[in-house]
Amino acid sequence: MTEPPATPHPDLHKIKTLFDEGTIARRVDELAAQLAGAGFEHLMVVPILKGSFVFAADLLRALHRQGMTPEVEFLHLSSYGKNLTSSGTIAVLRDLDGDVEGRDVLLIDDILESGRTLAFARTLLLDRGARRVEIAALLDKPGKRKAEIDADYIGFTCPDKFVIGYGMDARHAWRELPFIGYLDEG
């Protein structure tokens, strides 16, 4: 359940909940159980920053509960700049520290939309010699695909709305919300 904060954000009433905390937590545990049975060896988990950081933190702890011991390396990519629409160009803002050659890698992202971000990341890691690269996306917006890519693990199918919270932002705001919602402009 989402408790209202003691000092409410003035715009919080404009946000409609799409997936609440309990729903997300249950789905994250299901994904972890699926991942535990996927046969990864010496797994490296790579959250794509920034939007995936909350999902990744919860999923990693759920993987621990499944007895998994992944390494974690962060990849910071940018496709949106300051706008809400994708520019189509991906930039590496901060690269991995670790070497992925011969490794099993699980990429984690918040949303698979055009697919350009994850297609770029997967190609980058395969070009560097990763043995196996799979993708876990919290949300899938299937109607929006521009690149040929699908996630191996999906939290929820997302309606065609601009969503915020649980790590996801609208112009740098709302990442801290513990649930996934959208701005109700009506």
The strand pairing partners of 182, in sequence order, are 16, 163
140 belongs to the binding site for ligand IMP (CB under 6 A): no
Q: CB 163 → ligand IMP: shortest distance, Å? A: 4
Q: CB 183 → ligand IMP: shortest distance, Å? A: 10
Nearest-CA neighbor of 16 among 155, 144, 180? Answer: 180
CB nearer ligand IMP, residue 56 or residue 112: 112
CB nearer ligand IMP, residue 44 or residue 48: 48
163 binding partner (options ligand IMP, Mg ion, none; Cβ < 5 to 8 Å by kind): ligand IMP
51 belongs to the binding site for Mg ion (CB under 5 A): yes
Q: CB 48 → ligand IMP: shortest distance, Å? A: 7
User: Where does this chain bind ligand IMP (CB under 6 A)?
Assistant: 51, 79-80, 86, 109-117, 162-163, 168
